Structure 1
Amino acid sequence: MERLKIGVICYPSLGGSGVVATELAIKMAAKGHEIHFITSSLPFRYNEPQENIYFHEVRIDGYAVFKYPPYDIALANRIGQVVEEQQLDLLHVHYAVPHAVSAVLAKDMIQSDIGIITTLHGTDVTILGHDPALRNTVKYGIDKSDITTAVSDSLRTETIELIEPIKDIQTIYNFIDEETYHPIEPGTLREDLGILADEKVIIHISNFRSVKRIPDLIRAFALIVEKISVKLLLVGEGPEVPRIRRLVDMLGVTERVIFTGKRDDLPELLSFSDVMVLPSEKEAFGLVLLEGFACGVPAVGTLAGGIPEVIEDGVNGHLVPIGDPEQIAEKTLHILCNQDVHQMMKENALETVRGKFASDKIVAQYEKLYYDLQKKGCPNVWN
């Protein structure tokens, strides 16, 4: 098969879309393709230089005529430059706004026929798509792309119903790097965090926004501590942290809740955790669930977005209604208090990652899209 030169446009900072975009790019580079990141900074998951991967920085200068720096225009200009200078074969952009729109603008500016694949990760539809001022912009980015994918069937359905694109959208699920996420010996980390040997561990990992509904988890946890000896790990940072801390204090569980902040040792933290809870009201996919599953951690999650496409109720975890702390507590206790149930769900969680969401399977689906797009007429394939 021909090797391809692929331009990748994504958010380089912490977040599920950046993780998937970077991991996909790294795996494509390992298969021999040439990857060109076109971003404002190096993606945070790209930790060390790798063969076949190049970085093209998007610089944004301030101009008095603009109230805000024109990132989307600067990005379009840089995309155009890289397409021409590097003779790219295709662009894979993550998020319709602003990335797909900027890619389309770049393509038009340089009068290129380069193919564009857009992957929707959620926020561009679930939030921006509901804003009348931006809905047509999201639709434009999708309609002008050659191929559009969504990370879950739920997101695909919501996009079609809300945006009404002229082209179909296909689902390609998220994946994780199994070489990073797997059961691992955590060393003294458990003890370092002050967790006793006989205490169960509940873990939640997110960016602590209101959409994650972490107060529901805290209220559920206050019910759980009445029944068993347990600690709650809250991993991450975000605007909701002060509110959550106040609720933890108010409910009298301060000594049992550990705020870890952002961590680079998620596999180790997950490997000694007993159950993950994701109580979100919106979740396009729930990549963190796969990270937990890969480390053998069953999950309790809400019937929101793509979560039911990852959690199979009663198999690798439990599903609960949105905004129901009592159900969260009940289902979490069911896993924690039944050793046979926990072991069964742990084994099924590992199998979920190995089967439905295996990285080689998902990467192959994207690679097929790349070659399908090339067959439609992009002329720059190199050998």
Structure 2
Amino acid sequence: MLGRLSSVAQRAPRRWQASSQGIDYSCLHQLAPYIGKLKPLIARELLGQFTSPGDVVLDCFSGSGTIPLESVMLGRRTLAFDTNPYAITLTRAKLEAPPSLEAANEQLAQRLLASQRRSRYDQRTIPLWVRKFFHPKTLQSALRFADECIEKDDQFLLACLLSILHHQRPGFLSYPSSHLVPYLRDRKFPKEEFPEMYAERDLAPRLVAKLARAYKHGGSINRSKVLRVARIGVADLKLDYEVDAIITSPPYMNALDYVRDNRLRMWFLDRSTVDYSPEPTDRQMQSDAITSAFASNALKYLRKGGHCVLVVGETVLRKRIKTHPAERMLAQLTTEYPGLRVERVIRDEIPDIRRSRKTGAATKRELVLVLRKE
């Protein structure tokens, strides 16, 4: 199959290219931004084709939690793991959302009141690269609220806070900056011309508005379908039972900078986060090690006859390096785990609106590798 994946791949349904607006999806899918996340429609169709209600579905690279959330809403039982703390916060937030807007607002009122009683931070202990994004009073409120959520293990409200952390719109907390990747836009919006964008921003009304958006559409979550969500790497994965399907989008070399692009949100989760740190998949050897761990420590839990569905980039051209992660990953998996059989390959063109970078960097086409355990 190596070198021939594109030629044998069937084209994805045209509806995969369409907008998700007007489709019956939970607004929890849009709880907070995350680069390179899977469309709910694709997750729903893959789950519908390769699993049945009541099945146990494993996503060991859960990212923003799209597959676990759709899995639960379709009546499947879900297991979700990732090593990125922001990914786990998002996944847990979606699966642990309060049952109603009223319950969420009541929970918010409690957290806000408790956070106001917390000690103030010494500004000098906060890194300069973090301080430059916020009015000092706004930063104090946001930090104390984050600490309260972390102490109470309230991942839902913590994710809501992270979702409004930075943007130039009035409903967000930072000085004018980009939404997805944190960088200041003070040249486009100089302080002397836009003083209102540099004023203190009250946390409470912005969180109330965020909750209203989160509960605008979508049913409540059946938490009994959530078997486990944890910050665990695939090399350390341990389960006590088989799973019916593995559906996931594994990281591959040199594609996206999850740590750098989420560094401000991740700093609120872990204060040891620095302004920039390398990705675990920056080098081919590291990427291959993740694939090898998946082959030896995830596939063994897949029941015989069960499907392993992987969403992987076809070609990545970035940082002057060209790679073919889908072909490399498939070759490595079938070599290290000969019991896998290729059942189907689906080619999905990624439109500009779904790319994390307007230049089209990283990958313009994904391949869905449908494998079956014989």
Pairwise TM-score range, normalised by the shorter structure: under 0.3
With CA pairs under 8 Å and 6+ residues apart, which has the higher RCO, 1 or 2? Answer: 2
Q: TM-score, normalised by structure 2?
A: 0.27
Q: TM-score, normalised by structure 1?
A: 0.27
